[in-house]
Amino acid sequence: MSGHSHWATIKRSKGAADAKRGQLFTKLGRELEIAAREGGGDPNSNFKLRLAVDKAKQAQMPKDNIERAIQRGTGQLKGESLEEIQYEGYGPQGTALIVEVVTDNRNRAASEVRRVFSRHGGNLGSTGSVAWMFERKGTISLQPDDVDAEELALLAIDAGAEDVKVEDDLVEVYTRPEELMKFKETFEQKKIPFESAELAWIPKSLAQLDVKATLANLRLIDSLEELDDVSHVHSNLEISEEAAQAYEAEE
């Protein structure tokens, strides 16, 4: 088991995803606001905003909340002074992490991220310290359901996907960043359900650790994602089936 989407799948099965819905809406609202500020309030012409809107809808964020966040981004409503920051660091046993932040207080965000790294046996690195281990890609996680997973993989390959991974009940499709929306629309037109479609930092190689070290890294990632200012965490950690089961069993 590996890949950023599996981490989300593990959390859902553990029941953590719904634990802080209010916090989730706050984070989604910030993503919407940033996207609208950068590229305008029309999702049809603003690729980043369309991804954010789709993500918010998938999380069942109320329509009014989505519209207000977009209006804050376009300046129609007063909003916070938000900025995007990217931190890089190392987890237990030297795993590499990229932490994406959207915050209205740079000093607070840096302090909290550094504190979490330290508390879990990691450390915050300098800019560029681990980014070279990752590539920016579009990612789509498909749920085969009634469709054969191998057929979905072939469909993605025929459409020009850079890479496709089939694991159990999940098909991960990797695209060039600029082609993500094209692939997303292709699957939507064919009514193929998917868990997520987003731009992500994908590791060039994975760090294989024992179960104890893997769990220590998962706890670090979990704690980082619980911070209000953190929008995404990307890691080169490989999650074995044994480690996934051990994590799910934790209270």
Look up the CATH number of the domain holding residue 55: 1.10.10.200
pLDDT surpasses 80 at 169: no
Q: How far, in Å, CA of 13 to CA of 239, rounded?
A: 15
Higher pLDDT, 251 or 86: 86
pTM of the model: 0.87
For residues 16 and 139, membership in a common domain is answered with no
For residues 142 and 196, membership in a common domain is answered with yes
Dig out the tokens for 82 from the structure: 């938000």
Task: Report the DSSP pairing between strands 96-103 and 230-235.
Answer: antiparallel
If pLDDT is split at 50, 70 and 90, which confidence band does 194 have? confident
For residues 100 and 88, membership in a common domain is answered with yes
Q: How far, in Å, CA of 140 to CA of 190, rounded?
A: 14
For residues 66 and 8, membership in a common domain is answered with yes
Domain containing residue 148: 134-203
For residues 128 and 245, membership in a common domain is answered with yes
For residues 94 and 195, membership in a common domain is answered with no
Predicted pLDDT of residue 128: 94
On whether the CB atoms of residues 183 and 192 are closer than 8 A, the answer is: no
For residues 18 and 55, membership in a common domain is answered with yes
Q: How far, in Å, CA of 49 to CA of 28, rounded?
A: 11
Q: How far, in Å, CA of 180 to CA of 141, rounded?
A: 12
CA distances 120 to 5, 170, 216, 218, 249, Å, are 22, 30, 7, 10, 19
Predicted pLDDT of residue 2: 44
Q: How far, in Å, CA of 91 to CA of 101, rounded?
A: 17
Place of tokens 């790294």: 117
Predicted pLDDT of residue 22: 62
Instruction: Specify the CATH number for the domain of residue 125.
Output: 3.30.70.980
Domain count, the chain: 3
Residue range 100-148, pLDDT digits in tens = 999 999 999 999 999 999 999 999 999 999 999 999 999 998 877 767 7
